Amino acid sequence: MTLADPDNFGLQCQGVSHWFGENKVLFDLNLEVQAGQFVGLVGPSGCGKSTLLRAILGTHPPLKGRILTMQNGRLANADRPGRDRGIVYQKYSLYPFLTALDNVALGLKLDQTTTAFRWLNWTGWAKKRREFRDRAGAFLEKVGLGQAMHLYPSQMSGGMQQRVAIAQALIMEPEIILLDEPFGALDEATREELQEMLLRLYEENAEVKAAGGKPPYTLIIVTHELNEAIRVGDRLVGLSQYWDWKADGHERSPGATVVYDKAVPVFRPDERPEYALFDDIRREIRKYVYNPEVLQQRDKHINVGPTR
Amino acid sequence: MIGRPITRAKAVLLSVLSVLLLLAGYTWMSHRQHQVNPNDTTIPSWSQLAEGVKKFTQPDRKGERWVVEDSLATGERLAMGLALGIVFGFLIGMLMGCIAPVEAFLQPPISLLAKVPQTAALAVYFVFFGTGMEMYVAMISFGIIPALAVTVYLAVKEIPAEMLDKAYTLGASAFEVATEVVFKQVLPKFIDAVRLSIGPAIVFLIAAEMVVGDVGFGYRIRLQFKLSNMNVVYPYLALLAGFGFLLDYGFRMLQFKLCPWYQSHTK
Ligand SMILES: Nc1ncnc2c1ncn2[C@@H]1O[C@H](COP(=O)(O)OP(=O)(O)O)[C@@H](O)[C@H]1O
Ligand SMILES: [Mg+2]
């Protein structure tokens, strides 16, 4: 299967570079993601992971290069945000003035009705709103938040908030969902529960794929916990400014790029991985991605192309 | 212990006690004053006060009840001034917060105007707007617009970029981001700012009424003070306080109704 097959296409970054004045952040970044893949994205703090996600999201397109995603069933440039790419932040994903239910229903409302419709056609809007709320409610039930529907974010625990935030993004059925350190503020036990929630989506993918359909969930999760990236992802991508750019003819660092890209084991949601077994993966990552002293050719540790 | 709560019963008891003490203190001061000078009007006795109240609640020679005509005049001026100031203060703040060129254009004059003492600028309003309704409305609204606009503008700027970006990913247009996210996020802080602006608005209004009014609370208080009728002045002050309190309470209820999330949010 190749990326050219629309049923397999998740994301393609072609030669993406980005900088803020003198601060070179991303350099010639190439990344292809197949539909259904769960990518764990790691890298030193400040290397540009959030910048990359914002570029894919389309709120801050890259200064150079192209990012292609599926939009309304067609391949298109991701130069503006849309409902086909969802995001979950560590904070501020939920609107404090909306209940869990209305936070989840918000996307349906914004995407499927216009301001003019809501302001002028009151009865039509009331009917639509009931329908959206019903759908959002059913969705929340599904992710185990039936009890919390009418709570405001400030009344929910951090774990519940992130669960609602994931539901808020998922109900739009995005082609790809981006998570930027989503569980960074949670305690270990809650983290694991939420990882399980993501792994259940991966399982759903497998079922759909087995039945010959296009897997519904494609995901990139940025995290600073290597174990989390290994557990949730089926693929581990390292972004780093520490690579041998001198050999490529640069006088000073041109920015971070993909320096590590390998498949990692897949886990069932109820499976507690034996993290000790991944010592070698972690050691590799620490050495080639995180260590400023170790500068290797940038394609030396790239073992998965999606088009392999 | 600092901030340790007390029981509801104790709190009520203490409030009642403070009011009783205030009344008792007044009675005592007035009593002492009248022992020195039985005809004193600066600290009227309770019976003198009752006379004063009768004076402004009964029809005068022209058949007008002062308290009614004063309340109507002052209330109308205040309501129109506040309404105009609220609408424009909010709009200007939103536009400044959401649109960069507007921000650059309006920030200097707004921050400068916010520093001009309105009571000192009274003369300017008399010159430009005369001494009628327009003058009161202009003075009150211009007086509160800078503070309201700055509050809204800062509140908009405080919204994390993630919240706005998120809305775009959910399919919002720029207009919808303004109405569905920015507006709702800013609303409770705006209502707080309106509550705070009621005090200054009343100060501007009363000051202007004292100078050029021919009816209204400021006019009546100045006139009755000149006639040494403190038995009218004091009740009028109490009425003004009650008026301000009710208005403030109304806005607090409005905030509670419109932004139920805000209470649990700040707790
Ligand atoms: N809006 C911005 N303006 C200027 N510099 C920025 C901006 N956003 C990010 N940066 C810079 O870009 C670099 C990468 O930031 P970021 O993508 O947030 O890193 P990460 O998410 O990997 O920790 C940092 O050096 C940061 O200071
Ligand atoms: Mg980041």
Quote the distance between the C-alpha of residue A300 and its chain's center.
25
Residue A182 to residue A221: CA distance in whole angstroms? 8
Q: What is the mean pLDDT of chain A?
A: 90
Are B56 and B36 members of one domain?
no
A64 CA → ligand 2 middle, Å: 20
Q: Is A16 a member of any domain? A: yes
- Let me know whether B158 and B225 are in one domain: yes
Q: Domain of residue B29: give its range.
A: 1-40
Whether A203 and A265 map to the same domain: the answer is yes
CATH number for A54: 3.40.50.300
Per-residue pLDDT reduced to its tens digit, A176-202 = 999 999 999 899 999 999 999 999 999
The nearest alpha carbon in chain A to B183 belongs to A97
* Same domain, yes or no: B177 and B231: yes
Q: Domain for residue A183, yes or no?
A: no
Crossing angle (nearest 10°) for helices B217-226 and B66-98: 130
The H or E element spanning position A28 is: strand A23-34
Residues A206 and A300 in one domain: yes
User: B172 vs A110: CB contact, 8 Å cut-off?
Assistant: yes
What is the per-residue pLDDT for A308?
36
| Distance between Cα A18 and ligand 2 center (Å) | 15
Average pLDDT of span A80-103 = 94
What angle, rounded to 10 degrees, do the helices at B66-98 and B230-258 form? 40
Report the number of distinct structural domains present in chain A. Answer: 2
Centre of ligand 2 to C-alpha A49, Å, is 6
Task: State the pTM of this model.
Answer: 0.87
- All residues at 6 or more sequence positions from B104 whose CB lies less than 8 Å from its CB, including other chains: none
Q: A60 and A195, same structural domain? A: yes
Q: Are residues A213 and A303 in the same domain?
A: yes
The chain B residue lying nearest A50, using CA atoms, is B162
Q: Ligand 1, from A22, A24, A25, A253: best to mutate by most atoms within 8 Å of Cβ?
A: A25
> B interface toward A at CB cutoff 8 Å?
160, 162-163, 165-173, 175-176, 179-181, 184-185, 187, 259-262, 264-265, 267
Indicate whether B55 and B79 sit together in one domain. yes
Q: Check CB contact under 8 Å for B265 and A59.
A: no
User: Ligand 1 mean position to A213 CA, how many Å?
Assistant: 38
Q: Is residue A182 part of a domain?
A: no
Q: Are residues A196 and A295 in the same domain?
A: yes
| Residue A127: inside a domain | yes
Mutate to test the interface with B, among A97, A161, A175 (most CBs of B within 10 A): A97
A101 found inside a domain: yes
Q: Which residues pair with A33 in a beta bridge?
A: A11
In this structure, the answer to whether residues B190 and B261 fall within a common structural domain is yes
Cα separation of B210 and B188, whole Å?
Answer: 34
Top mutation candidate among A17, A27, A50 for ligand 1, by most atoms within 8 Å of CB: A50
Residue A276 falls inside a structural domain? yes
Percent of chain A clearing pLDDT 70 (strictly above): 97
Total structural domains within chain B? 2
- Rounded to two decimals, the ipTM of the complex is 0.90
Mark whether B223 and B126 lie in a shared domain: yes
pLDDT-derived band at A305, boundaries 50, 70, 90: low
Please report whether residue A109 resides in a domain.
Answer: yes
Element (H, E) at A70: strand A64-71
> Which of B168, B170, B177 to mutate to test binding with chain A, by most A CBs within 10 Å of its CB?
B170
Tell me, yes or no, whether B170 and B90 share the same domain: yes
Statement to judge: residues A55 and A204 lie in one domain: yes
CA–CA min distance A259, chain B (Å): 28
CB A246 within 8 A of CB A296: no
Supply the pLDDT for residue A104: 95
Domain limits for position A142 = 95-173
> Which candidate in B162, B166, B179, B181 is best for mutational testing of the A interface (most A CBs within 10 A)?
B166
Say if residue A215 is in the same domain as residue A301.
Answer: yes
- B26 to chain A, minimum CA–CA distance in Å? 47
Taking a C-beta distance cutoff of 8 angstroms, is the pair B155, B89 a contact? no
Same domain, A161 and A116: yes
Residues B144 and B94 occupy one common structural domain: yes
Q: Cβ contacts (< 8 Å) between B162 and chain A: which residues?
A: 89, 91-93
Work out the minimum CA distance from A156 to partner chain B, whole angstroms: 11
Whether residue A179 is contained in a domain is answered as no
Q: For chain B, 267 residues long, give each residue's pLDDT as a single digit of tens.
A: 787 888 889 999 999 999 999 999 999 999 998 898 888 888 898 989 999 999 898 888 888 889 999 999 999 999 999 999 999 999 999 999 999 999 999 989 988 888 888 778 888 999 999 888 999 999 999 999 999 999 999 999 999 999 999 999 999 999 999 999 999 999 999 999 999 999 999 999 999 999 988 999 999 999 999 988 899 999 999 999 999 999 999 999 999 999 999 975 444
Mean pLDDT of A128-157: 92
- Using CB distances shorter than 6 Å, the residues near ligand 1 are A 20, 23, 25, 43, 45-51
Q: Are residues A228 and A209 in the same domain?
A: yes
Contact: B165, A59; criterion CB under 8 Å: yes
Strand order in the sheet with A64-71: A23-34, A9-20, A64-71, A74-77
Q: Based on the fold, state whether residues B25 and B60 are members of the same structural domain.
A: no
Determine the Cα–Cα distance for residues A300 and A259; give it in Å rounded to an integer.
7
Whether B34 and B110 map to the same domain: the answer is no
Lowest mean pLDDT, pick from A15-19, A61-65, B118-122, B245-249: B118-122
Q: Which residue has the higher pLDDT, A14 or B267?
A: A14
Axis-axis angle for helices B66-98, B133-158 (nearest 10): 40
For residue A270, name the pLDDT band (cuts at 50, 70, 90).
Answer: confident
Q: CB neighbours (10 Å) of residue B188? A: 23
Structure-token pair, residue A111 = 């995407």
* CATH number of the domain enclosing B144: 1.10.3720.10
pLDDT band at A2 (very low <50, low <70, confident <90, very high): low
Q: Is the pLDDT of residue A68 over 80?
A: yes
Determine, for residues B261 and A81 on separate chains, whether the beta-carbon distance falls below 8 Å: no
Place of tokens 């992710």: A143
Distance from C-alpha of B166 to C-alpha of A89, rounded to nearest angstrom = 9
Asked whether residue B147 falls in the same domain as residue B253, the answer is: yes
Domain identity same for A58 and A206: yes
Q: Are residues B71 and B167 in the same domain?
A: yes
Say yes or no: A169 and A131 in one domain: yes
Domain check: are A67 and A196 in the same one?
Answer: yes
